[in-house]
């Protein structure tokens, strides 16, 4: 950590900051420049909150040097983590495509979709039983009945189940059915939930919050990892910006940037990331080309009858086309799909 | 709702969209322009999900006309809601300042601060017992013990308690102590929590999410209102943008914009909204001048010893100065503080 | 400047970076921490480009310590700059309101508006003769004829003229009429224009770019100041964010933040900053309460007949109301208006 | 265009809006819904400014239906535009890579780089003679001498020259040397320059502004096209968001989105789009996979000695690797490189 003092800060203020830093168990080096005094703090106490230093008289700014996460970092584990979710691996040479409807709507719907995406090469089945909806008047999911339908689809196809858990109070229920807990973008910083999910030990698919920085995503993963799980899959799903040609701005540069920081696998959700059916295939190709380990895609045999997210949902035929296209791109980057 | 068809969309596609709209129980008017056909849907079914229409062949875009919230709207209740939180009213002529430390750190700390802010004119006491922290290694709050200290501070000063509830699983506990449930920015779309809190009937202070639009904030309020509570206080606390001179961008224009849409009171958190102690007083003045009904301010007798958020916390002396200054501004806009 | 090396960077890489820094004429201090080596560079060479250091092997990041601007900084001139624009001062105790139509539309229009705003207390007259328009098909201004009308309005009312200059090639022409050169948000980083305008010596009203940081705004001012002008008025006019309840997000916190950095006066354009007539008065109050030295406001006797920006333009009656309200707020913060 | 009236708007207000619309030469249809009256305007007068309608009493919002650009639209020209820039085509089957240093630094530098990138497959040479720099103290380019060096590099390698023109006043000079005029992101809405460049008839490479929407980019292209040029190359170069792991957020979804709207070719600048050398190759792959027609890449034999933008500049070896990798991806999407 480096503390930058204001121009004209007094010797007393400098000494006061030094003593605050030493109180944290860190070593101090004072650098007196032409215009500014800078105080460097040496030592690794990244788990301590040091923001309070900004309030000390004479302090202009505080520059952290160490990344605030540990277990998620490449320094802690230099080799990539490959996660076994049952019906597929995520993080290995083969791209894993998790496909299915936005929401489970009926037994027939989820079984039909599961069979079709399985045949086309999906590695796991997605489908929401609890749905986070912006409006209280929108469809909120079939809840336990939806989970039962997912279980039946799994038993018929062998596809593992990726489904969202929305709160600690429904975690026991979801845990009976899910192979992978999905944490939605709106819950990326629901810290009680992160910790509770982490304690279960099952793989967790953690979606990036709509306005989360890379470090905040890794710190959310750190909550899950610190609670006991080894297996966290990071998922880029678009961020909120001023752009209006898509629902969100899919920020693919986070894929190679994460790979320089963490051993965890990274997948992409081009459905929410664009919000537009016609952009899902090109952005899936781009995600794989950028180095993504997998995709999370919304597929329905009749998008316009789907109860939610129809605008961004692929038909089964389009999903077949997506698989054909990403196989070629995967090969171009030395992988398979 | 208005559906805009793509140029060159076929008669069959237009008829198909018409039949989908009629299926929702809405009346259809087809407008054939020079370049585009536009289909207007007449009737109020705003509680239905109509996004699926975007997936119909030939559809270019969908323009909602009605605001998606009902109970929160001025149309439902044209006169302003004044909320009685016990030690103060929020939404009336008098500005209500809710002050206190970021986190409850000890019995002595919270009692001392409560007494001092009370004397300087605070209308309620804030203080976190459960703290949402970006890092799992940061201080997470005193939990139940913190709530007990708050209760003691209340009994000694008469100030009502505003404190954050982070999850459904701790709601019973928090409900025993809180006069106002605070929902943090990261939980603005934790829909299970919104509903559970709404069912309690107590006033709720709902912070705007870091990347929430005005409509999303009002829909989150609608979740709480639809569950039974009448009393929701909206709180602007800064949004996430590219700006780097503050921690967040405090968007004060949402105050008068909300007043044109909703009867609910609106307050401002200049501490999180700026992240910088030196900006808290000027932005508090600006918030009152823009029409805010109150403030939520972090105050500590020793900000640099505070366990969290020290950089944005006022000293008690500064809080006194804030009160003096906002009283003058309140008067200039025909109110008191 | 502080250079942070990657974990595991080699001694050779560290020495290489040291020699690059010494090559800039700076002194080097190497700090070897538990996980990272950090290299501090001491000395003031802020005018040199040092970004190339990021490309040196082993470098993780580069943290500048000194602000990149000099002449604009409080360190260079601690007392506030008060600018005499002819019919008013900007930066002194009295708030200066610059009012007028978006565009000059006719001789009668500009003279009528000038007379009315003058009577209501405006300190200068705004009005565009050259208009930057997003669409090539929109009205582009009366050009020289518009400037002549402005001159006539000035001679009749005594109000100084604030008008936009859009390019170096029309600077001579605009210079014959303008008392203050306005640089539009889209031209904030038109560096040739900044320099050319700065060489004229007249006051410059510099609007913040739609996505400019505070430092970039100050560096744009530095271009003008470095070219010779002493008088730059900074203008917040809203930034581009995800918000959709206004045309832009008016970021008032930049006012007190700028006051901590620069001696230059700061004004606010609530018309472009909100894009909505009904928000202009409350946000004007807020701007003055936050410490602004003035306002730039669009006024027209018939906004819905105005050729551009009608949606955000005040009627003359509303402008009178604005003046009444900001006078009270100005008094509350120890100023006049 | 659709005008949405406020709830409770009067019959008089509705008639007033109708007459304003009819005054524009448009046909009016009034739709009276349960809660709102909506007025549809039929006819194509997109070149008229209609924003003033927002100021009419009773108007809540205004929804444009037609895209505001014409010549750039697919409706005007359904087949893709392939642009001949001399040494390469842009927009055809073959991907065109424009490579070279950020700035021309010397005769030897630009000739050496031109030869090396030519040999590795570059289709044209980039290099700035006039440099837009955020700080007035940074290197501003060799100006005319830089253009002469570019001409010599062209005569030796046959590579066409892509170079930035920063203002109308230097356009004659740049026109003597440039094969393609580059308009920088900061000048995307320098409308005088757009028009002046368009009048020359040479191909124009138009960079997207840092906070420009897709429509604004297309309207900027419309300025150039309306002035006479047929050949505009659109370039995504990253937008400004809250992300801090890159210098800008490279928004690749704009590629397929543009292809649905315009016949103009689209290229990507992964150097500015990321600001980090290590991310340039993965994001180049992603750009091609998303459907880009070309790349604009910064290459230098010694990035850390480059006078500007070293942090994002590839070495010649890395550029060779980039070409190898994008050839494979191009093939995977049915193209060559």
- Cα distance from D65 to chain A (closest Cα, Å)? 14
Span D5-14, pLDDT tens digits: 988 899 999 9
pLDDT of residue D197: 97
Q: What angle is formed at CA D292 by the lines to CA D291 and CA D295, rounded to 5 degrees?
A: 150
C232 lies in a domain?
Answer: yes
What is the rounded CA–CA span in Å between residue D87 and residue D179? Answer: 10
Mean pLDDT, chain D, as a whole number? Answer: 93
For residues B102 and B216, membership in a common domain is answered with: yes
Q: Domain check: are B240 and B268 in the same one?
A: yes
- If asked whether residues C96 and C58 sit together in one domain, one would say no
Residues B9 and B156 in one domain: no
- Look at B27 and D271; give whichever has higher pLDDT: D271
Interchain CB distance below 8 Å, C303 and D55: yes
pLDDT tens column, A270-321: 999 999 999 999 999 999 999 999 999 999 999 888 877 788 999 999 999 9
Is residue D194 domain-shared with residue D244, that is, in the same domain? Answer: yes
Å from D142 to nearest chain B CA? 32
Interface contact B288, partner C, CB < 8 A? yes
Predicted confidence (pLDDT) per residue in D188-213, tens digit:
999 999 999 999 999 999 999 999 99
Q: Which residues make Cβ contacts (< 8 Å) with residue A278, sequence separation at least 6?
A: D256, D260
Q: Is there a single domain that holds both residue B44 and residue B108?
A: no
What is the pLDDT, as a whole number, of residue C34?
Answer: 75
- Looking up tokens 């001498």, which residue turns up? D145
Exposure b/e, C177-194, CB count within 10 A at least 16 = b: bbbbbbbbbbbbbbbbbb
Any residues with CB less than 8 A from the CB of B126 and at least 6 apart, and which?
B98, B99, B100, B101, B162, B163, B182, B296, B297, B298
Would residue D73 count as lying in a domain? no
CA distance B140 to chain C (A): 26
Q: Determine the pLDDT at residue B189.
A: 95
pLDDT at residue C1, as a whole number = 83
Residues D9 and D139 in one domain: no
Q: Do A211 and B305 touch (CB under 8 A)?
A: no
CA dist., res. A169 & res. B293, Å (int): 35
Give the distance between the most distant pair of CA atoms in chain B. Answer: 75
- How far apart, in whole angstroms, are the C-alpha atoms of residue A116 and residue A111? 9
Whether residue D198 sits in one domain with residue D230: yes
pLDDT truncated to tens, each residue of chain C (337 aa)? Answer: 889 898 889 999 999 999 999 988 888 989 888 778 889 888 877 666 777 788 888 888 888 887 788 899 998 899 999 999 999 999 999 999 999 999 999 999 999 999 999 999 999 999 999 988 888 888 889 999 999 999 999 999 999 999 999 999 999 999 999 999 999 999 999 999 999 999 999 999 999 999 999 999 999 999 999 999 999 999 999 999 999 999 999 999 999 999 999 999 999 999 999 999 999 999 999 999 999 999 999 999 998 888 777 889 999 999 999 999 999 999 999 999 9
Structure tokens at D121: 């497959």
Task: Please say whether the beta carbons of D55 and D68 come within 8 A.
Answer: no
In a domain, A160, yes or no: yes
Q: Which residues 202-261 of D are in CB contact (within 8 Å) with C?
A: 210-211, 216, 219, 222-223, 226-227, 240
- Picking from A32, A48, A65, A214 by the largest number of C CB atoms within 10 A of its own CB, the best residue to mutate is A65
The set of chains that have 3 or more CB pairs under 8 A with B is A, C, D
User: Is C19 among the domain residues?
Assistant: yes
Question: Could you tell me if D176 and D313 lie in one domain?
Answer: yes
Average pLDDT, chain B: 93
| Distance of alpha carbon D146 from alpha carbon D148, whole angstroms | 5
CB contact under 8 A, B169 and A166: no
| Percentage of chain D exceeding pLDDT 70 | 99
- Biggest CA pair distance of chain A: 75
- The reply to whether residue C49 touches residue D308, judged by beta carbons under 8 angstroms, is yes
Listed residue (A121, A3, A123) closest to A58, CA to CA: A3
- Alpha-carbon distance C110 to C151, whole Å? 10
Backbone angles phi, psi at D304, to 5 degrees: -80, -5
- What is the C-alpha to C-alpha distance for residues D287 and B26, in angstroms, rounded to an integer? 43
pLDDT confidence of residue D47: 62
| Residue D98 three-state SS | strand
Shortest CA gap B46–chain A (Å): 8
Q: Chain D residues with CB inside 8 Å of C207's CB?
A: none
* CA–CA distance, B303 with B326 (Å, rounded to integer): 22
Per-residue confidence (pLDDT) for residue D41, from 0 to 100:
87
Residue contact D168–C167, C-beta within 8 A? yes
Q: Is C326 inside a domain boundary?
A: yes
Q: Is the dihedral of CA B228, B234, B237, B239 positive or negative?
A: positive
Please state, in angstroms and rounded to a whole number, the distance separating the CA atoms of residues C34 and D68. Answer: 58
Q: Are C239 and C249 in contact (CB under 8 A)?
A: yes
Q: Residue D241 and residue A249: Cβ atoms within 8 Å?
A: yes
What digits encode the pLDDT tens for the residues B258-299?
999 999 999 999 999 999 999 999 999 999 999 999 999 999
Radius of gyration of chain D (CA): 23
Residues 79-118 of B with CB under 8 A from A: none
At residue D48, the pLDDT reads 67
**Predicted local confidence at residue B7, as pLDDT:** 82
User: A304: which 2 tokens?
Assistant: 């316009």
Q: Which residues of D touch B43 (CB under 8 A)?
A: 33-34
Q: What ipTM, to 2 d.p.? A: 0.94
Range of the domain at A124: 83-332
Locate B63 and state its tokens. 């323009």
Indicate whether C58 and C176 sit together in one domain: no
Q: Give B177-203 pLDDT, tens digit per residue.
A: 999 999 999 999 999 999 999 999 999
Q: Which of D20, D66, D137 to mutate to test the interface with C (most CBs of C within 10 A)?
A: D137
User: What is the residue whose two structure tokens read 């602000």?
Assistant: C67
**pLDDT single digits (tens) D306-337:** 877 788 999 999 999 999 999 999 999 999 99
**Do A102 and A33 reside in the same domain of the chain?**
no
- Pairing state between β C124-126 and D294-298: unpaired
Nearest-Cα distance to chain D for A142, in Å, is: 31
pLDDT band at A142 (very low <50, low <70, confident <90, very high): very high
The answer as to whether C246 is a domain residue is yes
State the Cα–Cα distance between residues B316 and B311, nearest whole angstrom: 14
Q: Residue C19: its pLDDT value, please?
A: 92
- What pTM does this model have? 0.94
A78 contact C CB<8A = no
Q: Does some domain include residue A170?
A: yes
CA distance A14 to chain B (A): 14
* Mean per-residue pLDDT, A327-337: 98
Question: A140 and A97, same structural domain?
Answer: yes
Q: How many domains, chain D?
A: 2
- The model's pLDDT over B191-239, given as tens digits with 9 standing for 90+, comes to 999 999 999 999 999 999 999 999 999 999 999 999 999 999 999 999 9
CB atoms B75 and D35 under 8 Å = yes
DSSP 8-state class, residue C187: G
Contact predicate A256/A289, CB 8 Å: no
Tokens of D215: 């429509």
Q: Assess whether pLDDT exceeds 80 at residue D187.
A: yes
Interatomic CA distance for residues D33 and D261, integer angstroms: 32
Q: State the DSSP string of B12-48.
A: HHHHHHHHHHHHTT-EEEEEE-SS-EEEEEES--TTS
> Is B286 within 8 Å of C282 when comparing Cβ atoms?
no
End-to-end C-alpha distance for chain C, whole angstroms: 43
Candidates A274, A276, A332, A337: best to mutate against D (most CBs of D within 10 A) is: A332
> CATH no. for residue B177?
3.20.20.70
Query: Which tokens is B120 given?
Result: 């300087």
Per residue in A273-283, is it b (16+ CB within 10 Å) or e — as a string? bbbbbebbbbb
Answer whether residue A280 is part of any domain.
Answer: yes
Q: Which residue has the higher pLDDT, C246 or D305?
A: C246
Chains touching chain C, criterion 3+ CB pairs below 8 Å: A, B, D
The answer to whether residue A50 scores a pLDDT higher than 80 is no
Distance from CA of A290 to the nearest CA of D (A): 5
pLDDT of residue A62: 85
CA distances from C141 to C102, C203, D325 (A): 10, 23, 50
Nearest-by-Cβ selection for C250 from B245, B253, B274: B253
- Distance (Å) from the alpha carbon of D126 to chain B's nearest alpha carbon: 29
* Confidence (pLDDT) at A47: 62
Residues of A in contact with D253 (CB under 8 A): 245-246, 249-250, 273-274, 279, 282-283
Contact between D34 and B40 using a beta-carbon 8 Å cutoff = no
**For D237-264, how does the pLDDT look when each residue is reduced to its tens digit (9 = 90+)?**
999 999 999 999 999 999 999 999 999 9
Report chain A's mean pLDDT, rounded to a whole number: 93
Q: Could you give the strand order of the β-sheet that contains A37-42, starting from the edge strand earlier in sequence?
A: A27-32, A37-42, A2-5, A59-63
CATH number for the domain spanning D47: value is 3.30.70.1140
The three-state secondary structure class of D72 is: coil
Q: Which residue has the higher pLDDT, A81 or A67?
A: A81
């Amino acid at each position: 950590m480096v503390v930058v003092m204001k121009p004209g800060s007094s010797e007393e203020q400098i000494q006061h900051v030094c003593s605050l830093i030493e109180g944290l168990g860190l070593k101090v080096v004072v650098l007196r420049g032409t215009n500014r005094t800078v105080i460097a703090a040496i030592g690794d106490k990244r788990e301590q909150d040091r923001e309070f230093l900004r309030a000390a008289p004479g302090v202009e700014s505080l520059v952290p040097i160490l990344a605030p996460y540990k277990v998620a970092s490449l320094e802690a584990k230099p080799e990539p983590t490959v996660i076994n979710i049952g019906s597929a691996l995520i993080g290995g040479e083969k791209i894993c495509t998790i496909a299915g409807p936005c929401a489970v709507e009926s037994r027939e719907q989820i079984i039909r979709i599961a069979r079709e995406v399985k045949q086309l090469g999906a590695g796991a089945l997605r489908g929401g039983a609890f749905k986070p909806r912006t409006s209280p008047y929108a469809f909120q999911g079939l809840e336990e009945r939806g989970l039962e339908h997912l279980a039946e689809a799994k038993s018929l196809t062998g596809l593992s189940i990726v489904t969202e858990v929305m709160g600690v109070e429904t975690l026991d229920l979801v845990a009976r059915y899910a192979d992978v807990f999905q944490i939605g973008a709106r819950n990326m910083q629901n810290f009680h939930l992160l910790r509770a999910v982490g304690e279960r030990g099952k793989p967790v698919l953690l979606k990036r919050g709509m306005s989360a920085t890379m470090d905040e995503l890794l710190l959310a993963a750190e909550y899950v990892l610190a609670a006991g799980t080894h297996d966290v899959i990071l998922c880029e799903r678009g961020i909120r910006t001023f752009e209006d040609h898509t629902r969100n701005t899919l920020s693919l540069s986070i894929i190679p940037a994460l790979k320089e920081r963490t051993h965890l696998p990274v997948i992409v959700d081009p459905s929410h990331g664009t919000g537009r059916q016609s952009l899902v295939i090109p952005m899936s190709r781009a995600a794989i080309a950028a180095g993504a380990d997998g995709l999370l895609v919304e597929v329905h045999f009749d998008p316009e009858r789907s109860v939610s997210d129809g605008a961004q949902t692929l038909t089964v035929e389009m999903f077949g086309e997506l698989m054909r296209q990403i196989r070629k791109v995967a090969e171009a980057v030395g992988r398979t799909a």
